[in-house]
Amino acid sequence: MGTWNSRGLRGSTLEDLINLTNERYLESGLALIQKIPTPITPIAIDKESRHITLAYFEQKSTVDYIGAVQGIPVCFDAKECSADTFALQNIHEHQVEFMKQFEKQGGIAFFIIYYTHKDLFYYLPYEMLSFFWERAVCGGRKSFRFEELNPEYILPKKNGIFVPYLDMLQKDLEDRE
C-alpha cells in the first residue's frame, strides 16, 4: 500500500492553481467546487514540528474535486503529465467507475491534465477517457498520445484565472446536445 510521503508533492502546484481558480469562481458566483481530502492515518509524527512524516491512505479516493457549476453537478480529477504519452496506470479503476456512476446520475465528470513540458492544460471529458480506458481493457494501448486528443479542449490562457476549465465545461455540455 502506498504511503503519503512516498508520493512526495506530485501535483501540488497543479492543485494549488486549481484551488485558486475555484476560489475565483466562487467569488464570482460561478461555481462551488471543493477539494476532496484523501483520508490518511498517521504513522509517524515529528514531535518538534508536529507534522505528519509518514502515513497510509485509509481508503481509495474517488476524485480530487466535486461540486456544482450553475446547478450542474461536476466532479473532476487533476493529473500532471511530463510527456506526450499519458499512461492510464495514473488513473485507477475505482475512479473511472465513480465517474461513470456520477455521469449516470446526470453529473459531468472530467479530468484536467497539465502537460508540464508543453505548459498547457487539457480538459479530458469522461467520454474520451472512457474510450481510452475501454481500448486498454480490450487489449489495446495502455496509454493515449497527445495527438489523439481533440485540440478544441485545450484550456485557453486567461488573465486572472489560472486553470479556466469552465469554458471547456461549457463546450463539453454543448457537445453532448
Nearest Cα neighbor of 30 from 167, 176, 171, 172 is 167
Alpha-carbon dihedral angle through residues 23, 112, 92, 148, given to the nearest 10 degrees: 170
- Between 45 and 101, residue with greater pLDDT: 101
* Single pTM value for the model: 0.83
Q: pLDDT digits over 94-134, tens only? A: 999 999 999 999 999 999 999 999 999 999 999 999 999 99
So where are the chain's domains?
A: 4-176
Residues 6+ positions from 45 with CB-CB distance below 8 Å: 51, 52, 53
On whether the CB atoms of residues 88 and 136 are closer than 8 A, the answer is yes
Residues 6+ positions from 65 with CB-CB distance below 8 Å: 18, 22, 33, 34, 35, 36, 74, 75, 76, 77, 78
Our CA angle for 4, 17, 89, nearest 5°, is 50
- In which residue are the cell numbers 499512461 written? 87
Residue 4 has pLDDT above 50, yes or no: no
Residue 167 is assigned to a ligand binding site: no
For the chain, the distance separating the N- and C-terminal CA atoms, rounded to the nearest angstrom, is 42
Provide mean pLDDT across the span 15-38: 92
Nearest Cα neighbor of 141 from 102, 96, 97, 85 is 85
Residue 77 is assigned to a ligand binding site: yes
Class level of CATH domain 4-176: alpha beta
Residue 62 is assigned to a ligand binding site: yes
Residues 6+ positions from 101 with CB-CB distance below 8 Å: none
